[in-house]
Structure 1
Amino acid sequence: MAMLLIPGFMLDADLWRDVEPALAEFGPIRHADLSQDGTVDDMARRALAEAPEKFALTGFSMGGYVARQIARQAPERVTALILIATSARGDSDVQVQRKAAIAAQDGSAVFKGLSTSAVASSLHPDNVTRMDLIGRIQAMGQRLGAEVFRRQSLLDRRDERGDLHSIRCPALVIAGEKDRLRSRAEAIELHHGLAGSSLKIVENTGHMIPLEAPDALAQVMGDWLRPQQRASQGAIAGKAPR
């Protein structure tokens, strides 16, 4: 089994740094690059072009939209799907208005870096003063820069709630106990929409689960992936010539 990890809005592969060691047992890990494209479809196509032939797929937040599109574009290649702190809802009225405001500005005026208050709002209340976490998130945003901020801010997120049934691979939905950016109701919608999926809540964390609770997240992912790995290996063995 190989794994493809997809980050969220203005995040890069460093999002997964503390989770990766515990996932090594499941095979080589690849990272999707969401910095080059302006649509979910194009992000999914680029990720697929660079992905292993078959892989377990994990998408965080915005990356969950990309992960689901990958599962639709190449269902025969995705062996398992993990969705973390994400949603199937389309843009709210507030988000539409925010996009319009960003679209009306030039690139230099749009992005000055991720503010401390904005980053803190994504964390568990107990973590809002943790400058190690805040600084790490801000550093990822700075690496990506103004052009990526603009593209990702204007990304169209369609409402997928009526289309989740088209994804047929085994799926796990993970939510943070105190996620203030994505509600528990959104996680439950995903869980109910993805036939046969599992739902797990990670305690004592906000939205940024891979950074706030990497050990707990790795355990949840590992406990779910091991049966998927055994099933995949068993299917391969059953097809082998005797």
Structure 2
Amino acid sequence: MPETLVLLHGFGGTHRAWDPVLPELDHERYNPIVPDLRGHGTKAHVRPISFEGCVDDVLAAAPDSFVLCGYSMGGRIAQKVALAAPERVTRLVLVATSAGIPDPDARAARIAEDRALADEVEGMTVEQFVARWQAQPIFAGTPPEAARSWADDLARNDPAALAEVLRTIGGGAMEPFWDRVGELTMPVTIVVGARDEKFVGFARERYAPRIPHAAVHVIEGAGHGIPREAPAELAALIA
């Protein structure tokens, strides 16, 4: 019987962000559940937008035991799910993510940046939001075909809802929890793109020492957008 695999998208995405990965999975082995997170897609108007609410949604949608994979913001939520219900998560796959911004000054700066960006995004059309989000330096080098499908997914969102996501569960809003990742005793796989230098650093310098049993994989040629840039490689690592 196939094992349930829950896939959590990143900020600005929807469940359709996993479209490139799903055909690469072994469906005799996995039964994927691909929810929208609060503030995104079909859950754009679900409130409150909070980490606790997102965790509750994932646990309500999943069976008693499941494999959990989260990308970027979805990876932060996946870790919180695994810490909240470790007996239910049989394996954890973290893709281009972190456990928060550890430096207080850097976190304060990120909070200010997220709030300013939220104010900017809130008044945008969806087309303006797509252009603004894709223009960030972290996404430089995204292959054109991947960028096009990603733009289609970004456009499935409401900019006003995404502004609230930035304010409530954005990278700055989340209290860092590096002191707790050692509690993740289930098998853990950490996946980063070689061009995504900041997250390569998180994988090697922060996760690896704290979760000695974790397997760290760096996908050559990929940046931050692994599900759209390297779907076959990611599916193989999920397997």
Paired AA for residue 108 in structure 1? G
Where 1:163 maps in the other structure, the secondary structure is helix
Give the TM-score normalised by structure 2.
0.82
CA RMSD of aligned residues (A): 2.3
Any conservation in 1 of the 2:100–2:178 contact (CA below 8 Å)? Answer: yes
When residues 212 and 124 of structure 1 are mapped into structure 2, their CA distance, relative to the original with a 3 A threshold, is farther
Paired AA for residue 205 in structure 1? A
Mapping 1:152-163, distance limit 5 Å? 152-154=165-167, 155=169, 156-163=173-180
Q: Which runs of 5+ in 2 are unaligned?
A: 41-45
Q: Which residue of 2 aligns with 1:30?
A: 33
Pairing partner for 1:19 from 16, 21, 32: 21
Number of corresponding residues = 218
Q: Which residue of 2 aligns with 1:145?
A: 158
- 1:219 and 1:194 map into 2 onto residues whose CA distance is 21
Q: Which residue of 1 aligns with 2:8?
A: 6
- Over the matched positions of the two proteins, sequence identity in percent amounts to 24
- 1:64 and 1:106 map into 2 onto residues whose CA distance is 23
Any conservation in 2 of the 1:124–1:205 contact (CA below 8 Å)? Answer: no
Cα deviation per residue 1:76-116 (whole Å; 9 max; x = unaligned)?
11000000001112373332111332465693259632226
- 1:102 and 1:43 map into 2 onto residues whose CA distance is 22
| Structure 1 stretch displaced more, 193-202 or 89-98 | 89-98
Q: Which residue of 1 aligns with 2:99?
A: 88
Mapping 1:38-49, distance limit 5 Å? 38-49=49-60
- 1:121 and 1:98 map into 2 onto residues whose CA distance is 15
When residues 25 and 177 of structure 1 are mapped into structure 2, their CA distance, relative to the original with a 3 A threshold, is farther
Give the TM-score normalised by structure 1.
0.81
Rg larger in structure: 1
Where 1:21 maps in the other structure, the secondary structure is helix
Mapping 1:90-169, distance limit 5 Å? 90=101, 92-102=107-117, 107-109=122-124, 112-115=128-131, 118-119=134-135, 121-123=137-139, 125=141, 127=142, 130=144, 132-154=145-167, 155=169, 156-169=173-186
- 1:102 and 1:117 map into 2 onto residues whose CA distance is 10
Q: Which runs of 5+ in 1 are unaligned?
A: 223-242
